[in-house]
Structure 1
Amino acid sequence: MVDPEVDVETGQDEEMIEVEATEEAANGDEPTGLEDIEPEVPERTTFLDYLRSPIVQLVLGTGANKEILSAHQALLTQSPFFTSAVTSLNDANRRIDLSSDDLHATASVLEFLYKGDYFPTLEAGNSLAYDPTVASPDDEGVALLRHARVYTLAQRFGLPTLAQMAHKKIHLTQSTAKGEIAYARFVYKETSPDDENIRKPVAAFWATRSHVLRHEAEKEFKRMCLEFPQFGFDVLSLVLDAQEKRSRREEVQSSGTASGRKRQRVSSAIVPPGVGLK
């Protein structure tokens, strides 16, 4: 009996096809079933991307004091204020009017947007870099006012991280009684009455040190209270609150129990003898 012929070449071709199919699947040409669980990597905005964006000019001051600062649009639009402002710009006019804003404070805002900090920068150990432009003692409150102006602009431009940084630098700044009054005047003039984040520490500072600072800057303190009655009321309220707490502690220590002050009763005992209803 003759054995059947076997097509050896055909068998080898089938094996090669199977191997190639396996390799293609391994190389990702076919679905692996892992696509749904692979995380999506978000695109990272690089500093180069910022520098490639269009230039926007910021106009500050008027007349002879007019200054023009330039910045990249992609950096500016980290601020909601500038995001809204650039929508009205076109190729013929790429300027934003900031004529009523402080030049140096605006420059500090731009420095923060580019570098993540502004001068004087925060140093290790919660201190500020030395600033040779500030006199010592700082009776004019130059350093405090610098950070206060940055704080108000950060609030207006919608930059909470910058506002927190400026607020921290305020607390790290050394000043004098007169400098503190200059700072308090700016705060009560330029900030919202609801902004307790910056107003309350100012009132607390004067409430806890008024017995000393008032004599170092008595005229300035009096002028401040007359110009901003809310400042005087805030300071007085904190002084009275502290006095009330001190009185309660003294009562507890003397009696051993906490009791409220009782209001004197009105009785016939205080009516002069012989006086009555007719």
Structure 2
Amino acid sequence: MADIQETPTLAEGDIEMEGAEENPVDLEGEDDDGAAIPPTQDPEEDAKPAIGNPQTRFLDYLRSPMIQLNIGSGEEAATISAHRAILTQSPYFAERLSDENSTADLPDEDLNAMGCFLQYQYTGEYFPRRLANQPDGLEHDPSVPSIDSTGDQLLKHAKVYTLAEKLGLPELQSLAHSKIHRINSTAIGEIAYARYVYSHSDVDDQTIRKPVAAFWATRSHVLRHEAEAEFKAMCLEYPQFGFDVLSLVLDAREKRQREREDVGGASGTPAGGKGRKRMRPSVNV
């Protein structure tokens, strides 16, 4: 969906808003038929393994006591186990697990996200892994379609991202974020992802929120033809999302206006433009 701290640059291209005279932005590589949307960003920062001091032998982790993790609730509940020394590499578990604890109840956590967390703790990666010979790719997962039409693949990594934030593992956050932007999806899948991001991330987390807003700010034809109803519902449910998208659109328009004024000179109207007067209501004398 560029380095994680960077945001997509809005260039002249695709947005059309009612009453607007200019079309702002479109990202390079957009599919004009709207069938599938390529990743909007490509974080290049490599994630680092989370399993502690490299001088510590891995066998020492395996010698530590086993902790039982009770994950989820109701029909979704499951129990898995992991070594204490592996878990306590997370500040969250280091604070929560005393020497007397042999279990931890996590009723609000997602089982698949926890599985990815543990796989990462033991191996330094989680499935599907990033491909070294394909900067934008992930290893093939035969259990999922090549295009994410539901948002499930995006949500998998988004849930790992939010779990890693809770557990205090920024390297795992970085890894999960980089995988989000390597998934091809449809407009419906992207709306599902946007809804999760705006309901589960902090308002100040621009690392994950701003790329989502920029993605929708640059794809007006998708909004009109594939997901207009879903986009409208998203804006009504999360007004901050609508505001973020609109802010990026207006920023792009102002940037182009300044560029035209620089070309046309400080005096007079911008090059190639016409002066406009605000419509005034008629007054009966």
Q: What residue in structure 1 maps to residue 23 of structure 2? A: none
Structure 2 unmatched runs, 5+:
1-52, 271-275, 277-282
SS of the residue 1:101 aligns to: coil
Correspondence for 2:96 among 85, 96, 99: 85
Structure 1, residues 226-267: CA drift from partner, whole Å, max 9, x if none? 1100000000010011111112222333x2348899xx9xxx
SS in 2 for 1:96: strand
Contact 1:56–1:71 under 8 Å retained in 2? yes
The residue that corresponds to 1:57 in the other structure is 68
Match of 2:265 among 256, 259, 271: 256
- Give, in angstroms, the shift of residue 132 of structure 1: 1.8
The structural deviation recorded for 1:141 is 0.8
Query: Aligned match of 1:154 in 143, 157, 164?
Result: 164
TM-score (norm 2): 0.72
Q: Is the 8 A contact 2:213 2:245 kept in 1?
A: yes
Report the counterpart of residue 85 of structure 2 in structure 1: 74
2:235 counterpart (222, 225, 237): 225
Work out the number of aligned pairs and report it: 221
In our comparison, the structure showing a higher alpha carbon Rg is 1
SS state at 1:206 partner: helix
Change (3 A) 1:214 1:50: farther
Structure 1 pair 256/43, CA: closer, same or farther in 2 (3 Å)?
Answer: closer
Alignment of 1:28-67 (within 5 A): 44-67=55-78
Name the aligned partner's letter for residue 57 of structure 1: Q
2:103 corresponds, among 81, 89, 95, to: 95
**% same residue:** 57
Q: How does 1:173-252 map to 2 (within 5 A)?
A: 173-252=183-262
Higher relative contact order (CA 8 A, sep 6+): 2
TM-score scaled to structure 1, two decimals? 0.74
Using the TM superposition, give the Cα deviation of residue 43 of structure 1 relative to its aligned residue in structure 2, in angstroms.
8.8
- Report the AA paired with residue 256 of structure 1: G
SS for the counterpart of 1:154 is helix
SS of 2:147's equivalent? coil
Task: Call closer, same or farther: CA 1:43–1:224 in 2, change over 3 Å.
Answer: closer
How many Å apart are 1:135 and its aligned residue? 2.4
Alpha-carbon RMSD across the aligned residues, in angstroms, is: 2.5
Q: 1:179 to 1:43 in 2, by over 3 A?
A: closer
SS in 1 for 2:142: coil
- Asked if 1:116 corresponds to 2:116, the answer is no
SS at match of 1:135: coil
Query: Are residues 1:135 and 2:145 paired?
Result: yes
Contiguous gaps of at least 5 residues in structure 1: 1-41, 265-271
3-state SS of paired residue (1:56): strand
- Asked if the contact 2:113–2:163 (Cα under 8 Å) also holds between the matched residues in 1, the reply is yes
Counterpart for residue 22 of structure 1: none
